[in-house]
């Protein structure tokens, strides 16, 4: 790879110079809580997954592993006893350790979540590890509890998942790949329950919103819960006869539910893009299409953003995503040394994805140029583009 010695903050090789931040981990319940919300269409994080074929990792034979605590659910679920399914990883599990050799990949949600399917697509032979929160998944990679994480970053209908953008700045992890996953919602219910028996339907707020037309035709009450797989588990565990769930076909299989209807989403073009995260960056190449993700901040002034984006235009580099986030009244925890985070104030943070590899001299020159007037600049990752069908 061509030398980047002239760039202080953007080299893919300088993995230690990333924003990690100071984290205070609160005590999290052992099981995911299915909390009902009155507003089914409240703004919420998209739950969905996708992936690319990735190679296995030999990061460290003595890496940490979570302690498994399997608890039985009553009544029993007809397809698989819930005690045989992985329990979501919590913050309290991260201090436990054991030797392991199999590649472990964290995702957010319960078994049967779309994110689990995305993790399996990204790393087909992996052990998928469920986590209660996005932050728990980041923490699990950071502490060597797992090897990778596969987490959603944007959905074609719901937009960006801003929480994960914030966590990318707080942790010293690197984007090593992306994967696109087509979300196909199913209407699930217990065996013997017919579609006309349904009085209410439970799911994640985004899933309910994405199936609004179908659910309106059925005349059911929509009840929002924490995630799609959690909705399926709740309906199955409580043997509800008047309620269904919007979730994946995998959730139906895991929790012993019937699929009353498939592909009930209003828009068939419902695709979620996931990022594959690791502790170390990959070495970028030029043998296939690459994408690079960066975040930067600028001084206030007329035409400053235009000048920032012009560094790519003048070099014929295509941008695939541009997003800004106001930060005027709250500090962002960013670390310059990868060890300790201090609050820093930026008027706006700009996230940009562009189609070029950091191994390209053209991309290196563009970022050198951008660094001349950027207050802050960081490469989040340079990685192969997912050019497959979702």
DSSP states of 93-138 as a string?
Answer: GGG------S-EEEEESSTT-HHHHHHHHHSTTSEEEEESSHHHHH
Q: In the annotation, is 45 catalytic?
A: no
pLDDT-based confidence at 347, cuts 50/70/90?
confident
CA distance 104 to 225: 27
Checking if the pLDDT of 291 tops 80, the result is: yes
Please classify residue 326 by burial: count the beta carbons closer than 10 Å to its beta carbon, then call 0-12 exposed, 13-18 middle and 19+ buried: exposed
When pLDDT is averaged across residues 26-36 and rounded to a whole number, the result is 35
For 37-49, write each residue's pLDDT tens digit. Answer: 333 333 333 333 3
194's torsion region: left (phi>0), alpha (psi -120 to 50) or beta? beta
274 counts as catalytic = yes
pLDDT band at 90 (very low <50, low <70, confident <90, very high): low
For residues 10-26, give the mean pLDDT: 37
Question: 3-class DSSP state for residue 258?
Answer: strand
- Identify the band that residue 63 occupies on the pLDDT scale cut at 50, 70 and 90: very low
**Catalytically annotated residue among 45, 214, 272, 292:** 272
Q: Is pLDDT above 60 for 192?
A: yes
Token pair 């296939």: residue: 288
Q: What is the mean pLDDT of residues 191-195?
A: 96
324-367-319-290 Cα dihedral, nearest 10 degrees: -120
Q: Which residue has the higher pLDDT, 144 or 34?
A: 144
Contact 175, 381 (CB under 8 A): yes
Instruction: Check residue 83 and give its pLDDT.
Output: 55
Residue 312 has pLDDT above 50, yes or no: yes
* Token duo for residue 139: 């923490």
Separation between Cα atoms, residue 78 and residue 239, nearest integer Å: 10
Give 325's pLDDT tier (boundaries 50, 70, 90): confident
d(CA 142, CA 22): 13
Of the listed ranges 72-76, 77-81, 178-182, 255-259, the least confidently predicted one is 72-76
Burial 66-88 (b: 16+ CB within 10 A, else e): beeeeeebeeebeebebeebbbb
Give the pLDDT band of residue 198 (cuts 50, 70, 90).
very high
Query: Whose structure tokens read 């007037």?
Result: 373
Q: How confident is the model at residue 102 (pLDDT cuts 50, 70, 90)?
A: confident
Confidence of residue 345 (pLDDT cuts 50, 70, 90): low
Q: Is the pLDDT at 316 greater than 80, yes or no?
A: yes
pLDDT digit string, tens, across residues 216-231: 999 999 999 989 999 9
Q: For the chain, state the CA radius of gyration.
A: 22
Please give the angle made by the CA atoms of 33, 34 and 40, to the nearest 5 degrees: 140
Tens of pLDDT, residue by residue over 130-153, are: 999 999 999 999 999 999 999 999
Which of 134, 138, 234, 274 is an active site residue?
274
pLDDT value, residue 100: 55
Q: Is the pLDDT of residue 329 over 60?
A: no
Say if residue 36's pLDDT is above 70. no
- Mean pLDDT (the chain) is 79
Whole-structure pTM value: 0.72
Distance CA 11, CA 248 (A): 40
């Amino acid at each position: 790879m061509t030398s980047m010695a002239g760039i202080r903050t953007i080299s893919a090789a300088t993995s230690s110079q990333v924003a990690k931040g100071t984290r205070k981990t609160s005590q999290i319940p052992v099981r995911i809580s299915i909390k009902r919300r009155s507003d089914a269409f409240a703004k919420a994080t998209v739950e969905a997954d996708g992936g690319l074929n990735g190679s296995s990792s030999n990061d460290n034979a003595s890496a940490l592993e979570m302690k498994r605590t399997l608890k039985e659910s009553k009544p029993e679920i007809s397809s698989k006893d819930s005690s045989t399914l992985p329990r979501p990883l919590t913050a309290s599990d991260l201090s436990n350790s054991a030797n392991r050799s199999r590649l472990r990949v964290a995702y957010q949600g319960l078994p049967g979540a779309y994110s689990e399917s995305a993790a399996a697509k990204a790393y087909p032979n992996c052990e998928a590890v469920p986590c209660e929160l996005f932050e728990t998944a980041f923490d699990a990679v950071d502490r060597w509890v797992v090897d990778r994480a596969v987490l959603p970053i944007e959905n074609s209908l719901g937009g960006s998942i801003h929480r994960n953008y914030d966590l990318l700045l707080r942790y010293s992890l690197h984007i090593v790949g992306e994967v696109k996953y087509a979300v196909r919602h199913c209407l699930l219910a217990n065996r013997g329950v017919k579609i006309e028996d349904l009085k209410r339907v439970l799911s994640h707020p985004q899933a309910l919103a994405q199936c609004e037309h179908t659910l309106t035709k059925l005349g059911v009450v929509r009840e929002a819960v924490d995630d799609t797989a959690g909705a399926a588990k709740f309906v199955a565990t409580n043997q509800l006869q008047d309620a269904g769930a919007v979730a994946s076909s995998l959730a139906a299989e895991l929790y012993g539910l019937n699929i009353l209807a498939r592909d009930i989403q209003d828009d068939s073009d419902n695709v979620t893009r996931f990022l594959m995260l690791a502790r170390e960056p990959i070495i970028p190449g030029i043998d296939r299409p690459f994408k690079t993700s960066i975040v930067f901040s600028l001084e206030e002034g007329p035409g400053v953003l235009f000048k920032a984006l012009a560094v790519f235009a003048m070099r014929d580099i295509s941008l695939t995503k541009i997003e800004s986030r106001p930060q005027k009244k709250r500090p962002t925890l960013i670390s310059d040394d990868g060890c300790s985070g201090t609050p820093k104030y930026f008027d706006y943070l700009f996230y940009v994805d562009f189609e070029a590899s950091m191994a390209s001299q053209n991309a290196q020159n563009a970022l050198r140029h951008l660094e001349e007037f950027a207050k802050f600049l960081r490469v989040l990752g340079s990685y192969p583009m997912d050019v497959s069908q979702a």
